[in-house]
Amino acid sequence: MKLYIILASFLVAQISSAQEADLSTTEKVWSLEDCITYAIENNITVKDATLNKNISEVDYSKAKSARLPDLFGSASQGFSSGTTIDPITSDYVSDEIHNTNLGINSSMTLFKGNQLSNQIKQNKLLLEQSTLLEEEAKNSIVISILETYLQTLYSKEGIAIAQNNLAASEKEMIRAKSRLDAGSFALSDYTEAQSQAATNKYNVIAAKNDYAQNIITLKQLLELSPLETLEIETIDENMDLINLELNKETIYTNALEYLPEVEASKANIAINEKELDIAKGGYLPTLSLIGSLGSGYTSINDNTFGDQLDVNFNQKLGLSLSIPIFNRNQTKAAVQTATINIEKAQLQKQSIEKDVIKKVETAYQNAVSSQEQLVAAEASQDAAEQSYNLAQKKYELGALSTTDLVISQNTYTNAQQNYLQAKYLNILYHQLLQFYQGNDIKL
């Protein structure tokens, strides 16, 4: 009997531990690093950029293969009657003819105004550019994840603030009701306490809805199912929030060297310059090597099919030269278009560099501002908290009206929200400045 009880206890313990293990695997808590890694692997935008890079790889391989000779096989079966030329013997005949033609043809471009070489170089540049654009897509999703993740944490902490305010206002409403029943409290004070409690309850609902909306946005960035639970990791409260010792010019230089969109714009200029070289190649002649093997059979010959294929076997080898004389100004137009596209690519590069500088400038100024705001917001929050605690004590002693208590509570709530906002903005802009310099984002 004791052995049975021991075995039963062991089985219950094993089942419980297994259930706890299953629960721990299903209720994963996502860190920022987890979200970034998962999004890079699964986000649709990033996958699309990767597919574009794969297409560029195929095009590059195709351009290199253009140097190789082609090879085509041919076979035909014909029937003719009346006076005609035998396609095999070239004799005039008046009989019905059955003929078979078999052949292999090949050609290889020897020279085409350097267009083949320039096309290969251009496709290599296009592959490099598509790789940079893939990195840009990844960077874009990283920034989106960072912003949404921090916004979600901000709204999550907002729920806690709203719930604390609701709990405090409900206690105040109960205290006001007791005083009203005792006849030591005005009805207007009690109704104002009720109103404040209702307002705080509404704020809790709004804060939860805001958090839920941010979770939906984060799920979409991660390509997660709407039915899947997503819980994110909170930030270490002891982390250093004020740590900006960066030179603005250094950040500009690092960003222009690191961000892939800048390098992609430089590659775009080189791509269009190669397009100009390709277009100019249209003015030059094309030289090709051609060759063929063939044989045939005709019904007017008494030899067997196999013998005729042996007798009629022929080989051809030659050169073909094509000299452009006038092609309705197509080459001239292509050269002009390529020249214009080079100028457009140069302007696009300047525009992208300006945009990068603007983003870095904005992030830097906001980082400096958020540091100052964080210091002020923390001092304001501490002062408002002390004032609210004092107001609560006065309210308990009956030395403060409900209106004044509500004003004090709202002031404290606003101070908490301002501190929370400054805190997450400081984290966001500091991380953005790190990211623009090629450093990893870590919380």
Tell whether the model's pLDDT for residue 30 goes beyond 70: yes
Rounded percentage of the chain residues whose pLDDT exceeds 70: 90
200, 339: one domain: yes
Q: Name beta bridge partners: 92.
A: 85
372, 343: one domain: yes
Tell whether the model's pLDDT for residue 99 goes beyond 90: no
- Give the helix, strand, coil percentages of the chain, each rounded to 5: 70, 15, 20
Asked whether residue 2 is domain-assigned, the answer is no
176, 296: one domain: no
Q: pLDDT value at position 175?
A: 83
CB contact set of 312 (below 8 Å; sequence gap of 6+): 88, 295, 296, 297
* Angle CA 248–249–255, to nearest 5: 90
pTM: 0.84
End position of a domain, from candidates 298, 323, 348: 323
15-41 mean pLDDT: 71
Provide the token pair at 206: 């709004």
Distance, in Å, from the CA atom of 146 to the CA atom of 430, rounded to the nearest integer, reads 11
* pLDDT single digits (tens) 258-306: 999 999 999 999 999 999 999 999 999 999 999 999 999 988 888 888 8
Asked whether residue 338 is domain-assigned, the answer is yes
Distance, in Å, from the CA atom of 94 to the CA atom of 395, rounded to the nearest integer, reads 125
Q: pLDDT value at position 361?
A: 92
**Strands 97-112 and 29-30, how do they pair?**
unpaired
154, 269: one domain: yes
207, 308: one domain: no
Asked whether residue 9 is domain-assigned, the answer is no
240, 318: one domain: no
207, 293: one domain: no
**What's the CATH number where 368 sits?**
1.20.1600.10
* pLDDT single digits (tens) 200-220: 999 999 999 999 999 999 999
Asked whether residue 14 is domain-assigned, the answer is no
Asked whether residue 365 is domain-assigned, the answer is yes
159, 303: one domain: no
378, 275: one domain: yes
The mean pLDDT of the chain is 88
361, 304: one domain: no
CB contact set of 58 (below 8 Å; sequence gap of 6+): none
* pLDDT single digits (tens) 54-90: 999 999 999 999 999 999 999 999 888 766 776 777 7
Lowest model confidence (mean pLDDT) among 4-18, 20-34, 158-172: 4-18
Which one has a higher pLDDT value, 441 or 123? 123
Asked whether residue 354 is domain-assigned, the answer is yes
Asked whether residue 398 is domain-assigned, the answer is yes
47-56 mean pLDDT: 97
End position of a domain, from candidates 271, 297, 323: 323
Q: How far is CA 99 from the centre of its chain?
A: 61
99, 181: one domain: no
End position of a domain, from candidates 308, 323, 338: 323
Tell whether the model's pLDDT for residue 439 goes beyond 90: no
How many structural domains are present in the chain?
2
Domain that holds residue 245: 28-66+113-284+324-436
Please report which confidence band the pLDDT of residue 3 belongs to, taking 50, 70 and 90 as the band edges. very low
Asked whether residue 280 is domain-assigned, the answer is yes
Sign of the dihedral through C-alpha 125, 127, 130, 136 = negative
352, 382: one domain: yes
Tell whether the model's pLDDT for residue 21 goes beyond 60: no
Tell whether the model's pLDDT for residue 396 goes beyond 90: no
Lowest model confidence (mean pLDDT) among 28-37, 88-97, 356-365: 88-97
Compute how many other C-beta atoms are within 10 angstroms of the C-beta atom of residue 432.
Answer: 21
